[in-house]
Amino acid sequence: MLATPSGRSACPHADRHRRLAVQLADMIPGAATIRVGLNDPRQPWPHPHTIVKDKSGKTMELGRVTARVAARWILRVWPEADWTQPHTFDLADATLTRSDLIADGRGR
């Protein structure tokens, strides 16, 4: 990655996204994507909701704390995202995409 004369990364957001992907992959071994939204079906108010899938697309079970921590980390790294819609974080390429765009096949 290119650096500025100060030695800092020229793409600080990309670096931050990559670091988050590495941390989440370590925290949730086998995870490929993490879907995050504020629409937990068990709560009547906005509350972080996480669905993790492996490379084959199978849903992985997470503990409550792990799911909540993963969701909050993703929410904090992308505060500008429209969180009225769920988003999917791809750990392989450290990208966040609105989940409805993935379902429609429109990509990133």
36-92 pLDDT, tens digit per residue, is 999 877 877 888 899 999 999 999 999 999 999 999 999 999 999 999 899 999 999
d(CA 93, CA 42): 31
| DSSP-assigned letter for residue 78 | -
d(CA 91, CA 33): 6
| DSSP-assigned letter for residue 7 | S
More confident: 51 or 100: 51
Q: How much is the pTM?
A: 0.79
d(CA 75, CA 44): 20
